[in-house]
Structure 1
């Protein structure tokens, strides 16, 4: 920890210590640049303590039990409830009980300087920091300031909601007990994953989805299969419903949700999973001509438009609200900053160049750890058609693959490739089924590498694995 009372100069100053910010620090320090990191909460950010890590720790036992129940000879041994206390303790282990000592030790080990406190841009190339103790610091950047402040959960302007103490993703991933009845508003990844986790941990879950289905950013069949499985697990999934008001009396009493039309539902906790907004309302954007509270627009190198020294990586630039994409952007931007600091005369800005975040728009993968898992990369069929591509969707029943049948009795799933008919390469792929997330990286390589279908035909999947789905899809395409 560095404590100073006057302005200090670094090569790079990073505002926000989540995964994207940490990766910027890692890349710039590896390039020999002096780097300071400013973080008001825990180093490691949302992903480490309230999102990816704790949610997967909660979900893994649920998915493992579901898989085991589909295996003959094992199914009868895993019919009882999960040990909720053990699952929560395991979750706490993976979040380091919400302590960031290990992350701070890592920063020290690479020679980065940590400033704890609220950071704000303070004009060109400067960041002002106010520590929890009230100390004030001004940091000056020779080469770059990087904003990596992420997002926060949106709480809609619904009458009574603010006073009802709703859960957001933070409370849903850090709760110390399973609520008896959990109402989930939303159909997004957070909503679907947390409904899966808490239903498995003993809560009675009711999902209230404003749209027509779950996981609206994926192929429609993904949300349909996930909703079907949630219902079979005992959850209630209702679509095309709208919350008009929320009522809660007292600090521990039940919460009531009033739906459009007057119907009232009651639960012990209410999770609002209705989107994210940029965490930019009080970070000094106005001092550099940007609008507080807005997403920060960037070019493909993640440099902020109109500012040759300012970068924004991760959720805050709205290119891709995914941890792995934020880390990818940080690797790209870190390389750009290092190259410009070294006076490299020309950056590699070709379509898949080292200094361009091409995957954000062309090969972005996402895995949803519901039961069944849903995994996708690139464009959906509808997105490809809207973009003007001449495409064909190639579908196959995952349950008809030998490896899937051996993986689980009654395996249910589906796969789709979106093929560009003019170039005969993949624009997108989606897999839904138990363990389907492990199919995703092969598809990501195929999409990012623009591997011709004719060449993919020679990538022979091992028998009998679930990956044999690739052969079946290509056979279907070739006819």
Structure 2
């Protein structure tokens, strides 16, 4: 059956049923099909999911002009030409093209070419191995059902907030016009990236953070450098504050944000970027003994624990292991391998923490990039996380601006690099980079952390001169003393 034409059977059987056609669900189905299993994907919105239309892709389309202009301003001979406002309509039009104008024809064609069936509509579990789709369609799974429904933005219980209809991440990445005044609540990745983008596009942006800094899951210096840059760009940053009440008198009218300090801020739009919840509230979890709306507890093969028969998998955001698109796709590869192995009766390599059936990277080597200006990139454990985990460590810091490649990258380059070394095994536990262009440094660190490359062997990995990657040599020199 073609991806767009799976219809009409009263009770259709597949080897694998996937709920959710985002990058995670697509990859589970693809890996299962590549192993010789039949697969169907059930999707109630757009094939391609959150990342393709409302998160990763549109947000990076908004942010790339910001960082490109910033980098050009640092290059002698090009600074004056780059010192102009961004063409906001052109940026938004490019964003629209990147998300295929919120149409999923191309993604559907890919499913079709991969031999994966598509059923449109909300799908709900109806007991073991059964999924009912709106309209009465019943699907049964011979081997596995994979829940890949992702997560959604959560509004905190602030009086008047829901009635004020604030932006969530979807609204922030999909807005058609630039708001004159924007208040952003939340100092994590979404809050920082959207404050960066909309300020550069012309908004007067106020960023409100409950804690004492930005990007709390990274090394403290990452949030500090990003905060400095946001302030220089004209973002009004307030830390240690909480929103007490929100008022909006009329739809489309101004919104008033009341703080616990007693201050009031009036804006045209309010973005809430303070947390996410699993999209599991209406997928029939209660029919298999699980709690609707809960995160799914899974083992290292991504199989949901506490479900008799071991046929249910929770892959991607729904298991709360690492809420990142690339980690969801990684988990999909692991889950697909585990599903196909169990279907063939092949032993699962549960004793091998880095084996084909174990999502070990979720715990030890999660990479993440914040596409702010400057970029912040990290993998593995921070210094504080390593200490809490009981490792005996040495932390090595270097000024990225002292590297020749950074000097050539642009005048006034500011950045910092850190590696966290396990002294007992002499391998990297984590690394963090902050500075223009550092996103492309991260994969080398990810390989070093995931492969547990000995520090002495890293000494023989020679960075090209003159590149920013030469910071690796400086870090190792400092470690060796």
1:395 aligns with 397
Matched, 1:273 2:277: no
- Measure the CA separation in 1 of the matches of 2:298 and 2:352: 17
Cα displacement (A) at 1:261: 2.8
Cα displacement (A) at 1:346: 4.3
1:177 aligns with 177
Cα displacement (A) at 1:226: 0.4
2:434 aligns with 432
- Measure the CA separation in 2 of the matches of 1:86 and 1:160: 35
1:46 aligns with 50
Write the deviation string for residues 89-128 of structure 1: whole angstroms up to 9, x where unpaired: 1111110000000111111112211111111111001111
Contact 1:348 1:354 (C-alpha < 8 Å) held by counterparts: no
- Measure the CA separation in 2 of the matches of 1:343 and 1:294: 31
Q: What's the secondary structure of 1:394's corresponding residue?
A: strand
1:141 aligns with 141
1:350 aligns with 352
- Measure the CA separation in 2 of the matches of 1:365 and 1:239: 26
Contact 1:416 1:429 (C-alpha < 8 Å) held by counterparts: yes
Alignment of 1:302-317 (within 5 A): 302-307=302-307, 308-317=310-319
Cα displacement (A) at 1:456: 0.4
2:464 aligns with 462
1:229 aligns with 229
Matched, 1:120 2:136: no
Matched, 1:89 2:96: no
- Measure the CA separation in 2 of the matches of 1:347 and 1:82: 52
- Measure the CA separation in 2 of the matches of 1:444 and 1:107: 30
1:33 aligns with 37
Alignment of 1:404-443 (within 5 A): 404-443=406-445
- Measure the CA separation in 2 of the matches of 1:392 and 1:77: 45
- Measure the CA separation in 1 of the matches of 2:9 and 2:163: 40
1:77 aligns with 81
TM-score by length of 1: 0.98
- Out of 123, 129, 133, which is 2:133 matched to? 129
- Measure the CA separation in 2 of the matches of 1:206 and 1:316: 31
Contact 1:339 1:347 (C-alpha < 8 Å) held by counterparts: no
Contact 1:398 1:413 (C-alpha < 8 Å) held by counterparts: yes
1:101 aligns with 105
- Measure the CA separation in 1 of the matches of 2:364 and 2:349: 20
Cα displacement (A) at 1:348: 5.7
Contact 2:211 2:240 (C-alpha < 8 Å) held by counterparts: yes
- Measure the CA separation in 2 of the matches of 1:378 and 1:24: 25
Contact 2:206 2:236 (C-alpha < 8 Å) held by counterparts: yes
- Out of 10, 18, 33, which is 1:6 matched to? 10
Cα displacement (A) at 1:65: 0.1
- Measure the CA separation in 2 of the matches of 1:360 and 1:375: 16
Q: What's the secondary structure of 2:195's corresponding residue?
A: helix
- Out of 373, 376, 379, which is 1:377 matched to? 379
Contact 1:208 1:238 (C-alpha < 8 Å) held by counterparts: yes
2:291 aligns with 291
Q: What's the secondary structure of 2:398's corresponding residue?
A: strand
- Measure the CA separation in 1 of the matches of 2:142 and 2:394: 50
Segment of structure 1 superposing worse, 434-443 or 338-347: 338-347
2:451 aligns with 449
Cα displacement (A) at 1:4: 1.6
Write the deviation string for residues 135-166 of structure 1: whole angstroms up to 9, x where unpaired: 21110000000000000001111101111110
Segment of structure 1 superposing worse, 103-112 or 364-373: 103-112
Aligned length: 475
Q: What's the secondary structure of 2:452's corresponding residue?
A: coil
1:208 aligns with 208
**Stretches of 4+ aligned residues off by more than 3 angstroms:** 345-349
Q: What's the secondary structure of 1:335's corresponding residue?
A: helix
Unaligned runs of 5+ in 2: none
Contact 2:338 2:348 (C-alpha < 8 Å) held by counterparts: no
Contact 1:155 1:272 (C-alpha < 8 Å) held by counterparts: yes
Cα displacement (A) at 1:345: 3.3
Contact 2:182 2:268 (C-alpha < 8 Å) held by counterparts: yes
Matched, 1:327 2:306: no
TM-score by length of 2: 0.98
Cα displacement (A) at 1:306: 2.7
- Measure the CA separation in 1 of the matches of 2:145 and 2:95: 34
Q: What's the secondary structure of 1:64's corresponding residue?
A: helix
Write the deviation string for residues 270-309 of structure 1: whole angstroms up to 9, x where unpaired: 0000110011111110111111111000000000113310
- Out of 356, 361, 364, which is 1:362 matched to? 364
Provide closer, same or farther for how the CA distance between residues 346 and 436 of structure 1 changes in structure 2, counting only shifts above 3 A: closer
Q: What's the secondary structure of 2:119's corresponding residue?
A: strand
Contact 2:349 2:358 (C-alpha < 8 Å) held by counterparts: no
Q: What's the secondary structure of 2:372's corresponding residue?
A: coil
Write the deviation string for residues 223-244 of structure 1: whole angstroms up to 9, x where unpaired: 0000100000011111000000
Unaligned runs of 5+ in 1: none
Cα displacement (A) at 1:349: 4.0
Q: What's the secondary structure of 1:88's corresponding residue?
A: helix
- Measure the CA separation in 2 of the matches of 1:89 and 1:314: 30
